[in-house]
Amino acid sequence: MNAPTYNFAYLDEQTKRMIRRAILKAIAIPGYQVPFASREMPMPYGWGTGGVQVTAAILGPTDVLKVIDQGSDDTTNAISIRKFFAKTAGVTTTTSTEVATVIQTRHRIPEASLRAGQVLVYQVPIPEPLRYLEPRETETRRMHALAEYGLMHVKLYEDIARFGHIATAYAYPVKVNARYVMDPSPTPKFDNPKMDNCPALQLFGAGREKRIYAIPPYTSVVSLDFEDHPFTRYKFDAPCALCGAADSYLDEIVTDDKGSRMFVCSDTDYCEGRQAAGHRGSQAAAPHKEAAHD
């Protein structure tokens, strides 16, 4: 048979070594963006090529992989990446946060607590938190080298001056291990507290921008704020309409063309788990019966 065959987990071994070395340095210098020679992947930039390369470099045959996009296991991006690794690495995939050993994510951190031994891989579009404030890479490099982050505080202050509060709602900057200011990728700031002192290893891959960074387990991650305007995690007015959870991050779903809407958990695994356990929200239908994925 002459069908093309791929190396385990798609990437060639030299590429994996290069990415692996970058990951080790990223862990050793928490929050620092390590440049790496990002490869072209069989999917376009913006679809998670950074996260995919990190996952490909760490994945082994005994891993159990979960992929989420905006908290959901069921979106096109999540399904295609899960299938990609099921095909190229033959790994078991899951939608369960509990069971997974490697979780690749776009824009959310699962609601369920992560445990030691798990790895959370973030897909990152713009890794440089200072980029919109200072376009020159040479300058942002120097600002990180000197821990010169006044500009970021000015930006947050301008939010307060214009809106009366810090209006940044996602990609909310954090300081890692009291040293580097880091972009947590465009996760809602609701998720920021989950990064602090997390038992799992957190790896970040930006394919187009060619950067890898990391937060080791049990590392301090502090959202930037001011004494008189402390960081706040916003709270939703109503619980999830399907499972009744009052502690989760909710998505707004428009249900018709007359302005009707419902708010449901963005984390589908969390919501399904709660419904399976008998929790019901205001618009819950019959008990959840979706078949297992894959």
- Distance in Å, CB of 147 to another protein, minimum: 9
- Does the annotation count 90 as an active-site position? no
| Site for another protein contains 206 (CB under 8 A) | no
Residue 114 as a binder of another protein (CB under 8 A): the answer is no
> What's the min distance (Å) between Cβ of 103 and another protein?
15
Query: In the window 11-70, what residues touch another protein (CB under 8 A)?
Result: 13-14, 16-18, 20-30, 32, 34-35, 57-61
**Cα separation, 70 vs 282, whole angstroms:** 23
The mark string for 166-205 relative to another protein (x by CB under 8 A, - otherwise) is -----------x-xx------------------x-x----
| Residue in 1, 145, 161, 286 binding another protein, rule: CB under 8 A | 145
Tell me if residue 198 is catalytic: no
Can residue 105 be called a binding residue for another protein (CB under 8 A)? no
What residue ranges bind another protein (CB under 8 A)?
A: 7-8, 13-14, 16-18, 20-30, 32, 34-35, 57-61, 116, 141-142, 144-146, 177, 179-180, 199, 201, 215-219
Q: What positions carry a catalytic annotation?
A: 31, 240, 243, 265, 271
